[in-house]
């Protein structure tokens, strides 16, 4: 559930609760207001359960291991770094570790923030690891 929908449901639940309380003994107003407040609260609860119990799975795009694409990836600077990392992930899986998990989006974001030298050191370490395993 997104932020604006959550905020709207909170406002609806609060307003319906206020209407139900201020209706007093007027059942014709209190019962529908209670129903709306309970419904909005239930939707909020379902949204909270969905986010905490069943987290959304982020799929990482698979890049085929094509070494001819490396030069343009380096030429793209920091924008090419995710493609380089995914290429290394793909090479790792095809190089004898098919069960290796891809680099997480959070790790890729961290790698994009590294300096050029730090990223080159990361690449050197990954390539050395690939060479060692083959």
The torsion angle over the Cα atoms of residues 121, 123, 129 and 134, rounded to 10 degrees, is: -140
- For 26-61, what is the HEC assignment? CHHHHHHHHHHHHHHHHHHHHHHHHHHHCCCCCCCC
Instruction: Give the pLDDT confidence score for residue 29 in this predicted structure.
Output: 86
Per-residue pLDDT for 55 more than 60?
no
Q: Which of 68, 11, 19, 20 minimizes the C-alpha distance to 40?
A: 11
CB 112 within 8 A of CB 70: no
pTM, 2 dp: 0.47
Instruction: Give the pLDDT confidence score for residue 15 in this predicted structure.
Output: 92
CB 44 within 8 A of CB 7: no
3-26 per-position pLDDT tens digit: 888 888 889 999 999 988 998 888
């Amino acid at each position: 559930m997104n932020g604006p929908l959550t905020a709207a449901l909170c406002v609806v639940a609060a307003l319906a609760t206020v209407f139900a309380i201020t209706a007093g003994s007027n059942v014709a107003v209190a019962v529908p207001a209670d129903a709306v407040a309970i419904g909005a609260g239930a939707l909020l609860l379902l949204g909270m359960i969905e986010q905490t119990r069943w987290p959304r799975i982020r799929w990482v795009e698979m890049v085929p291991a094509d070494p001819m694409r490396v030069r343009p990836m380096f030429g793209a600077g920091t924008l090419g770094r995710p493609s380089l990392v995914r290429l290394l992930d793909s090479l790792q899986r095809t190089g004898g570790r098919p069960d290796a998990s891809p680099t997480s989006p959070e790790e890729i974001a961290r790698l994009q923030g590294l300096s050029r030298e730090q990223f080159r050191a990361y690449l050197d370490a990954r390539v050395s690891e690939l060479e060692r395993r083959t």
